[in-house]
Structure 1
Amino acid sequence: MHGDEDILYDFSNSTSNSTSAAATKPTPLSTAVSSPGYFFGRVVGLYLLDKKDDFSAWFAFSVVFNSTAHRGTLNLMGANPNAATRDISVVGGTGDFFMSRGVATLRTDAIEGFKYFRVQMDIKLYECYF
């Protein structure tokens, strides 16, 4: 499958191409204990920053398929640390992917500061009922 893009809205860029925005403001405690730009516990759209000193996020999202070949969703979740490749779990699905289980290996394809990143996913299903 092809990569997914995320463009973080941070009040300085256009909302027309943004795909996520911070759902909370950094707390004074978060700002005090985190390196500049890394806000432990910050909720951003569909992922949660979960480290104080480096970029690391906890992902929970659905990949939606709507084609003639496949219809339904795959539900993924897991830690996304700052590493060349990382694995997150396929924890379920709907439609053609009902009750799917597997692993998605993520690779960062492009990154521009804290506003934009694109991730390539290779998904391997070990249990699927279609």
Structure 2
Amino acid sequence: MATRSKASLIVAAIVLVSLLSSATVAHGRRLVRSYDEPCMEMRLYLHDILYDYSNSTANSTSAAVTKPTALSTAVSNPGYFFGRMVVFNDPMTEGKALPPSLEETAVRAQGLYLLDKKDDFSAWFAFSIMFNSTEHRGTLNLMGADPNTATRDISVVGGSGDFFMSRGVATLSTSAVEGFTYFRVQMDIKLYECYV
């Protein structure tokens, strides 16, 4: 009887160890998790060119998909467009310069933002960064509030490919603004959970 219970304990221990090891290994990679030091860092610039009927459709990378609401025109300060939703497919670069071809960049941001404040420019983002280069393949998924402050953080909530199940934070800062049609955002991305 003692031999049988000892064997059962050994089998249970083996099952537990295999479950724990499989929880930290996925797709042949091992999970690296640290809350002190990021396992990966990168800086990218998002270039958004909003189509507003006055600029070219060829170089526009985003479009408002809602008209200003009655509430936004009645109570919003001019230009804040409370309730507007914008869908984008923006090029992203490692440097500040716009790429020569807006449609053929190896890194793109695809998603939407909602203008969510009546008396100031403030937005809520939900988008994926799509990587298709020799250096990285896959996506990073980000979402969060984008208030009108010098820097703000949004969450990296997951990913795929080289960024499988990544978690972290992206610190945003507005790098350039030209009227209501162009803005450039610097994104300092730090991942604290990575599969390597």
* Category of TM-score, reference length = shorter chain: over 0.9
Give the equivalent residue in structure 2 for 1:101.
167
TM-score, reference length from structure 2: 0.64
Alpha-carbon distance between aligned partners in 2 of 1:126 and 1:2, rounded to the nearest angstrom:
17
Q: Give per-residue Cα distances to partners, 1:85-120, cap 9 Å, x unaligned.
A: 110000010101111110000111110111100011
Aligned residue type for 2:72: S
2:169 is matched by which residue type in structure 1? V
Mapping 1:28-107, distance limit 5 Å: 28-45=70-87, 46-107=112-173
In 2, distance between residues paired with 1:34 and 1:56?
Answer: 12
Runs of 4+ in 1 over 4 A off after TM superposition: none
Residue 184 (structure 2) aligns with: 118
Unaligned runs of 5+ residues in structure 2 are 1-42, 88-111
CA RMSD of aligned residues (A): 1.0
2:50 to 8, 16, 19: 8
1:12-68 C-alpha deviation (Å, 9 max, x unpaired): 111111111110111212211111111111111111101111111111111111222
The sequence identity of aligned pairs, in percent, is: 82
How many residues are paired up? 130
User: Is the partner of 1:69 in helix, strand or coil?
Assistant: coil
Partner of 1:23: 65
* Structure showing the higher helix proportion among its residues: 2
Displacement of 1:128:
1.4
**Which structure: larger Rg?**
2
**Structure 1 counterpart SS, 2:72:** helix
TM-score, reference length from structure 1: 0.95
Question: What letter matches 1:33 in structure 2?
Answer: V
